[in-house]
Amino acid sequence: MKRDAIREFFRRLAEANPEPSTELEYATPFQLLVAVVLSAQATDKSVNLATRGLFAAAPTPEAMLTLGEEGVAAHIRTIGLYRNKARNTVALSRLLLERHGGEVPRSRPALEALPGVGRKTANVVLNTVFGEPVMAVDTHIFRVANRTGLAPGKDVLAVENALMRRVPKEYLKNAHHWLILHGRYVCVARKPKCGECRVFDLCEYRDKTA
């Protein structure tokens, strides 16, 4: 996709949703971090259902540590890999208290040093909490970037780097939210809703459904 088309692509998405945000429910940076860790291989809806009770019982790293693995697991057992995620949630709470005074660090290396936190999770936190212009590439963004011709890449890091180069600076801060939502509700995996797509004419996908 050419530069002018990319700019128009994001202009239209921005026009339709000027203030995009994550669909995960949270009240603090710590809660967002935990929610993103729990969202691996799970839907935002299922995570929200689980974290409402979890965050009521343990809204802070201190409370999460006190709740313990079994207590966390009891709240999140409806989510896939819940035992491993409970272990990571308690462990990252401990490290936040030991290394960062209970605060979520504004540093990718520091975030990625926490249990259960990879590059994508760190990018979500850096973008959503701290407003950093970074790109958290999940399966939705990977699909949209390749299918539309926006930023093709063989793996998530290649797509992330391509998007960082190609997305106009004025749209970069919100770009990953727009792309996730577009992939989740319009440019879906099996039967993309091309008839509802705002960027239909810009998209380079050969098998459009309308």
- Catalytic residue numbers, as ranges: 120, 138
The span from the CA of 158 to the CA of 137, in Å, is: 10
Residue 56 neighbours by CB distance under 10 Å: 9
The span from the CA of 182 to the CA of 205, in Å, is: 15
Burial class (CB in 10 A: 0-12, 13-18, 19+), 9: buried
Give the closest residue to 144 by CA, choosing from 116, 175, 179.
179
CB 208 within 8 A of CB 194: yes
Q: Indicate the DSSP class of residue 191.
A: S
Residue 164, CA atoms < 13 Å, CB-side half-sphere = 13
CB 96 within 8 A of CB 114: yes
Give the closest residue to 13 by CA, choosing from 170, 157, 161, 205.
170
